[in-house]
Amino acid sequence: MPPLADDDVWRRLLAGDVPGADDVEPGSSAADLLERYGPLVAAGSPLVLAQLGQSLDGFVAARTGDAVFVTGTEDRRHLHRLRALVDAVVVGVSTVATDDCRLTVRAVDGPSPVRVVLDPRARLPPAARLVAGDGPPVLWCVADSAAAGLVAAPGVDVVPLPTTEGAFAPAAVLAALRGRGLARVLVEGGGRTVSRFLAAQALDRLLVTTAPVLVGDGVPGLRFPGADRLADALRPPARRFALGPDTCVELDLSALRA
Ligand SMILES: NC(=O)c1ccc[n+]([C@@H]2O[C@H](COP(=O)([O-])OP(=O)(O)OC[C@H]3O[C@@H](n4cnc5c(N)ncnc54)[C@H](OP(=O)(O)O)[C@@H]3O)[C@@H](O)[C@H]2O)c1
């Protein structure tokens, strides 16, 4: 059998079928695809991923919120591959308000996930492209207290959730998604949303792509109550990939819980 081409590997991964290392030519781009995404497919379900693209000094956007683009085109393709491999993609409402993102899969072949917005105060802009009704379903997670009388656009389901001090417990968000059959989840941003899931130990894998760019001051990426001593810092098993000029590091946070 000739070695598999990139498209063959990707099609099989989308179908949940991980080719063997012998099916690809060592050192080829097909081997890279298999190495990057094979373990995420093999991990099965449930699986909670998070991603951030950040500058070398740890910002996910400039101070105006401009995030176009922190990382390069290879990382954008990588992000779209992650979207295609999950059932649902989760963002905080500030990301929708700032980026007017669609959260669909466009840069590679593959299905678009259900889109989920965490928005306790129901401040999702009504004109956001996400709720234009021409894409995959949207779950609009709002605080119980804000849900009464909300009118959602076609294709948008209101999901009322309890809050503590104005915030949803990540476990409650994930339980609501699993209750809808959405067990493979990508928490896509921004920094506050990913940080909350990280602090709550709700993530299995965290993929941070760092670009060789310095922003100086901007929207921070990860911030969580860390340890006093470096000896107690989180040091999960890590894998590293080059994405053009950027570097993606994948942390296996599930290993810390094991
Ligand atoms: N480079 C990247 O990878 C990337 C990815 C995504 C976004 N971004 C950028 O990141 C910036 C936005 O990031 P951000 O950190 O400021 O905000 P964010 O994470 O997008 O949204 C934060 C807001 O979402 C709501 N939220 C999030 N998690 C919640 C939870 N567990 N419970 C309740 N509410 C929750 C809260 O809304 P309330 O304030 O109403 O309580 C919170 O203030 C934008 O500039 C965007 O362009 C970059």
CA pair distance 171, 109, nearest whole angstrom: 31
Please state whether the peptide bond connecting residue 46 to the residue before it is cis, i.e. omega within 30 degrees of 0. Answer: yes
Atom of ligand 1 nearest to the CA of 65: 45
Ligand 1 pocket: which of 93, 115, 141, 209 to mutate (most atoms within 8 A of CB)? 93
Q: What is the mean pLDDT of residues 3-17?
A: 97
Atom of ligand 1 nearest to the CA of 209: 3
Question: Which is it for strands 138-143 and 88-92: parallel, antiparallel or unpaired?
Answer: unpaired
Work out the percent of the chain whose per-residue pLDDT is above 90. Answer: 96
CA pair distance 57, 211, nearest whole angstrom: 9
* pLDDT of residue 157 exceeding 90: yes
Helix (H, G, I), strand (E, B) or coil at 127: coil
Check residue 47 and give its pLDDT.
98
Query: Are the C-beta atoms of 29 and 78 separated by less than 8 Å?
Result: no
Q: What is the mean pLDDT of the chain?
A: 97
Atom of ligand 1 nearest to the CA of 99: 47
Please classify residue 247 by burial: count the beta carbons closer than 10 Å to its beta carbon, then call 0-12 exposed, 13-18 middle and 19+ buried.
middle
CATH superfamily of the 43-212+235-257 domain: Dihydrofolate Reductase, subunit A (3.40.430.10)
Site of tokens 């690809």 = 24
Check residue 11 and give its pLDDT.
98
Q: Which residues line ligand 1 (CB under 6 A)?
A: 52-53, 60-61, 65, 67, 70, 91-95, 98-99, 118, 120-121, 123, 166-168, 170, 188-193, 196, 219
* Alpha-carbon torsion (147, 148, 151, 153), positive or negative: positive
Each as own residue / partner, the long-range contacts of residues 175-178 (CB below 8 Å, 24 or more positions apart, any chain) are 176/139, 176/141, 177/87, 177/88, 177/90, 177/116, 177/139, 178/46
Give the model confidence (pLDDT) of 190-237 as tens digits: 999 999 999 999 999 999 999 999 999 999 999 999 999 999 999 999
Calculate the alpha carbon distances from 97 to 55, 82, 124, 136 in Å. Answer: 21, 22, 7, 19
Residue 1 — very low, low, confident or very high, per pLDDT cuts 50/70/90?
A: confident
Calculate the alpha carbon distances from 5 to 10, 27, 79, 109 in Å. Answer: 9, 12, 21, 15
CA of 24 to the centre of ligand 1 (A): 39
CA pair distance 149, 162, nearest whole angstrom: 17
Q: Is the pTM of this model over 0.75?
A: yes
CA pair distance 80, 107, nearest whole angstrom: 6
Check residue 78 and give its pLDDT.
98
Give the model confidence (pLDDT) of 21-35 as tens digits: 999 999 999 999 999
Check residue 124 and give its pLDDT.
96
Q: What is the mean pLDDT of residues 240-249?
A: 98
Give the model confidence (pLDDT) of 82-132 as tens digits: 999 999 999 999 999 999 999 999 999 999 999 999 999 999 999 999 999
* pLDDT of residue 258 exceeding 90: no
Q: Which two tokens stand for residue 184?
A: 């493979």
Please classify residue 64 by burial: count the beta carbons closer than 10 Å to its beta carbon, then call 0-12 exposed, 13-18 middle and 19+ buried.
exposed
Q: Which two tokens stand for residue 249?
A: 């590091």
Check residue 183 and give its pLDDT.
98
Give the model confidence (pLDDT) of 119-136 as tens digits: 999 999 999 999 999 999
Check residue 234 and give its pLDDT.
96
* Alpha-carbon torsion (29, 30, 31, 36), positive or negative: positive
